[in-house]
Copies of this chain bind each other. A is one copy, B any other.
């Protein structure tokens, strides 16, 4: 059995997909894979992962090519930024008038800041590690 290598698609939900997509493209500078629609928006990350936004109502309709899904309420996603880059991000977000909800320095050495996307999802930017590398590491 081949092991699962990593996450390929990460999803958050937004009733107004286009407004949420604008946040991820304009503020976080993610690279769109297609023009956002009322159903979905798709972005390709530099590590080749795909980040998706779906309208939970349209995505949960039956009869789509893919199985139905769709969640409501605030989701959460964390994006990795390069070491030393978080401070510049904090300045840029403040310059744009975006409220930084929290900043955390982790026991593992990493640092995070948290903002909200227009749909209310909790969006974290992290530099370094917020988690132990492995379970062994965690229990040492």
Contact = CB atoms under 8 A, between A and B. Distances in A.
A50 interface: yes
Given A8-B78, A67-B102, A81-B5, A135 B29 contact: no
A45 interface: yes
Interface in A1-26: 1-11, 13
A85 B73 CA distance: 35
Nearest to A88: B1
Contacts of A76: 9, 11, 52, 54, 59, 69
25 contacts: A2-B84, A4-B45, A4-B46, A4-B81, A4-B125, A5-B46, A5-B80, A5-B82, A6-B80, A7-B78, A9-B76, A9-B78, A9-B130, A10-B10, A11-B75, A31-B134, A33-B134, A44-B133, A50-B78, A59-B76, A67-B114, A69-B76, A69-B121, A70-B73, A71-B71
Contacts of A82: 2-3, 5
A120 B80 CA distance: 28
Nearest to A50: B131
A7 B70 contact: no
